[in-house]
Copies of this chain bind each other. A is one copy, B any other.
Amino acid sequence: MSSAIITLTTDFGISDSYIAQMKGVILGINPEAIIVDISHQIEPHNVREAAFVLSTVQSSFPKGTIHVAVVDPGVGTKRRAIILRTPQADLIAPDNGILSNVFQQVTARSIQHPQIVSESNIKAVAITNPKYFRSPVSNTFHGRDIFAPVAAQLSLGAPISSFGKFVTTIEILPIPALFLSPDGSITGEIIHIDHFGNLISNIKEEDLPLRKNLIIEIGKKKISGLSRMYANGDKLLAIINSNGYLEISLKEGNASSYLHMKVGGEVKVKPGPK
């Protein structure tokens, strides 16, 4: 037995017993596993959202953590199941793009050929060995029948090569690109809206053209400069959030409702007037 950490990220919600069935299977194999829920409120079938959420936790968990992610509209089809090993963690998921953001985080690679797993610091295995599956395997719930038992066996020390063959490519979703204008402005989009209604963009701190006198445009609003804290600023504010992304927030309110802004909405950062 081994007290490894296994996290779960799914679109299963919390009203049914699906999550508990996965936990029961894990604990039946490794009673000492420490199971942590990341989120089960991923929008149903929204692989992209899960990919983002998964990337936000990588640096907070100890090395060797096992992250299981199941947003899996293709369950039962021929889509592969994979284990991705990074210097930080093992990730177990359907090979449907759900590991895109983590992959990009680790390889720091541009998106031209993102699907090729050929870095020295990253490995992937296609899960095929039925020895590690729950029996029989249903066609509708691989979370319980494949991903959970594989995670538990991995937590007990099974080498990743025992689950299947190494693969050289994995599915990567095209990650929304930033658009750079000749005037030095940068345009991105909202990729996640959190529980507070904060609008999280795909613009990272290091992407910002200038740190002074920035003008942030969102919907029909303009925000002058970045705030250093939520309590600061004059109602609507822009801030670099705790994961390093540019975020639009409404002071003690809900920016998403206030701006009628959804995922995919445009955010533009301009250098301010001199």
Contacts and interface: CB of A to CB of B under 8 A. Distances in A.
A24 B228 CA distance: 25
Contact of A232 (B61, B76, B192): B76
A250 B12 CA distance: 15
A74 B14 contact: no
B27 A77 contact: no
Interface in A175-229: 192, 194-196, 228-229
Given A13-B195, A229-B75, A242-B141, A36 B57 contact: no
A66 B260 CA distance: 40
Nearest to A148: B60
A173 interface: no
Interface residues of A, number: 64
Interface string A15-49: 11111111111011001101011111100110000
Nearest to A194: B16
Contacts of A139: 228-229, 239
A37 B62 contact: no
Max chain B C-beta neighbours (<10 A), residue from A22, A61, A140, A239: A140
B17 A57 contact: yes
Copies in the complex: 3
Given A31-B3, A76-B229, A232-B76, A39 B17 contact: yes
A229 B140 contact: yes
A139 B232 CA distance: 11
A14 B194 CA distance: 10
Contact of A20 (B13, B38, B75): B38
A153 interface: no
B229 A77 contact: yes
A61 B145 contact: no
A166 interface: no
A62 B148 CA distance: 14
A138 interface: yes
Nearest to A58: B24
A2 to B, nearest CB: 11
Given A74-B231, A239-B140, A36 B20 contact: yes
Contacts of A53: 16-17
Interface string A232-247: 1000000111100000
Instruction: Give the 6 A-B CB pairs with smallest separation, nearest first.
Output: A76-B229, A13-B195, A141-B242, A24-B60, A24-B61, A15-B41
13 contacts: A14-B39, A15-B195, A17-B38, A20-B39, A28-B62, A31-B62, A60-B144, A73-B230, A73-B231, A75-B231, A77-B231, A138-B242, A140-B241
